[in-house]
């Protein structure tokens, strides 16, 4: 395989795609014979097969996936929508989704929305390229219907509102209650939550933590991080220190922010878990590699991915409806006690 040998126009650019007809002509056979040679089908003599293959190679011929897909109906691709591959949560999810999807013969195209301004248009565009969509959509039900009508959709952790499509729901309350019991038992009484605020409002996670603490008569202070990064998590806790506020525990919206809390404590020579206890959410594997190792509410990513892929494949095949209770699955977080709390 030397340089490009496609039929080239004056500028050296391919004038048009090399098609099966070109190969057929070059080899002096019919299109059907080319098909037989390319796909290792029987009913073709070894000799013509080689001649065809040679011609195909010479022309750099490659069957069009569209032509082929049109007639063979067994090519499925899944759109996986995530916020930002740079946040370790999403690769862990993506890894699991890609794995399960591959097992079912589905391809996965990755849609990262980190630099997307118009989510609806973005998802509508994605919808044109795939057979089903899974992930973090963050659209209102009506936007979602507009963008992805007629397509099987499974949202992951879609928030409190009753999902209008398929969904994998997170059940964090039990694990949160467990973590809160553990902390209050050892005397925590001034906890803080580093949250991701939505329009200035505390997240659902913060509310769960607050109400679990309320059961023990403890009040939660919620502060917002600027963005979802380690640095922002550290910044939020830095401000706490700077403000002279005393606290004995930090709950974080997720492990990334918790890592920031750890970093900030280290910067302020504050012992973890001695002086301040830190608890993250998600169960990222990076939590095992930091010092101290991060205590966290972990979700089994493989289970999430398995549910999501199962649902969406079922919806696509028609075995499952496109909405309703049958296409809702629940996954429980588990308290994983390591060193930080």
Partner DNA sequence: TTGTAAGCGTTATCAG
Partner DNA sequence: CTGATAACGCTTACAA
Closest to DNA by CB, 42 vs 117, is 42
How many Å separate Cα 66 from the centre of its chain?
A: 27
Which of 26, 44, 223, 341 lies at the binding interface for DNA (CB under 7 A)? 44
Residues 63-122 interacting with a copy of itself (rule: CB under 8 A): 63-70, 73, 75, 77, 84-86, 88, 90-92, 94-95, 98-99, 102, 107-110, 112, 114-115
Binds a copy of itself by CB under 8 A, chosen from 139, 249, 259, 308: 259
Q: What is the 3-state secondary structure (H, E, C) of 287-306?
A: HHCCCCCCEEEECCHHHHHH
Taking each helix axis from N to C terminus, what angle separates 20-27 and 31-38, rounded to the nearest 10 degrees?
A: 100
39 binds, among DNA, a copy of itself, none (CB under 5 to 8 A by kind): DNA
Among 123, 133, 137, 151, binds a copy of itself (CB under 8 A): 151
Nearest to 156 by CA among 235, 86, 89: 89
Partner in contact with 88, chosen from DNA, a copy of itself, none, beta carbon below 5 to 8 Å by kind: a copy of itself
Asked whether position 63 contacts DNA by CB under 7 A, the answer is: yes
| Residue 32, H or E segment | helix 31-38
- In three-state secondary structure terms, 280 is strand
- Show the binding pattern over residues 260-299: x = contacts a copy of itself (CB under 8 A), - = does not: ---x--x------------------xx-xxxx--------
* Whole-number Å distance between alpha carbons of 188 and 162: 34
- Cis geometry, peptide bond prior to residue 273 (ω within 30 degrees of 0): yes
**Sites of contact with DNA (CB under 7 A):** 16-17, 19-21, 28-36, 38-39, 41-45, 47-49, 61-64, 66-68, 70-72
């Amino acid at each position: 395989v030397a340089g490009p040998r496609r039929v080239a126009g004056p500028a050296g650019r391919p004038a048009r795609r090399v098609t099966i007809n070109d190969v057929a002509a070059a080899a002096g056979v019919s299109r059907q014979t080319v098909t037989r040679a390319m796909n290792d089908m029987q009913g073709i003599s070894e000799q013509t097969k080689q001649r065809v293959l040679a011609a195909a190679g010479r022309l750099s011929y490659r069957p069009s996936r569209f032509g082929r897909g049109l007639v063979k109906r067994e090519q499925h691709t899944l759109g996986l929508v995530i916020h930002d591959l740079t946040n370790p949560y999403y690769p862990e999810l993506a890894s699991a989704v890609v794995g399960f999807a591959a097992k079912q013969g589905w391809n996965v195209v990755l849609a990262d929305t980190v630099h997307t301004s118009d989510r609806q248009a973005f998802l509508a565009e994605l919808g044109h390229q795939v057979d089903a969509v899974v992930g973090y959509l963050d659209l209102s039900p009506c936007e979602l219907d507009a963008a992805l009508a007629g397509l099987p959709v499974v949202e992951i952790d879609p928030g409190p509102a009753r999902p209008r499509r398929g969904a994998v729901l997170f059940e964090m309350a039990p694990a949160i209650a467990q973590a809160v019991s553990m902390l209050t038992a050892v005397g925590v009484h001034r906890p803080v939550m580093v949250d991701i605020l939505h329009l200035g409002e505390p997240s659902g996670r913060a509310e769960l933590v607050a109400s679990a603490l309320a059961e023990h008569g403890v009040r939660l202070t919620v502060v917002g991080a600027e963005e979802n990064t380690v640095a922002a998590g550290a910044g939020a806790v830095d401000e706490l220190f700077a403000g002279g506020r005393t606290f004995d525990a930090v709950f974080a919206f997720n492990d990334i922010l918790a890592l920031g809390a750890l970093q900030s404590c280290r910067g302020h020579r504050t012992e973890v878990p001695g002086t301040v206890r830190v608890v993250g959410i998600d169960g990222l594997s990076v939590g095992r590699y930091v010092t101290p190792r991060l205590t966290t509410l972990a979700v089994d990513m493989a289970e999430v991915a398995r549910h999501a892929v199962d649902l969406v494949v079922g919806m696509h095949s028609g075995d499952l409806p496109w909405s309703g209770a049958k296409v809702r699955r629940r996954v429980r977080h588990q308290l994983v006690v390591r060193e930080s709390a």
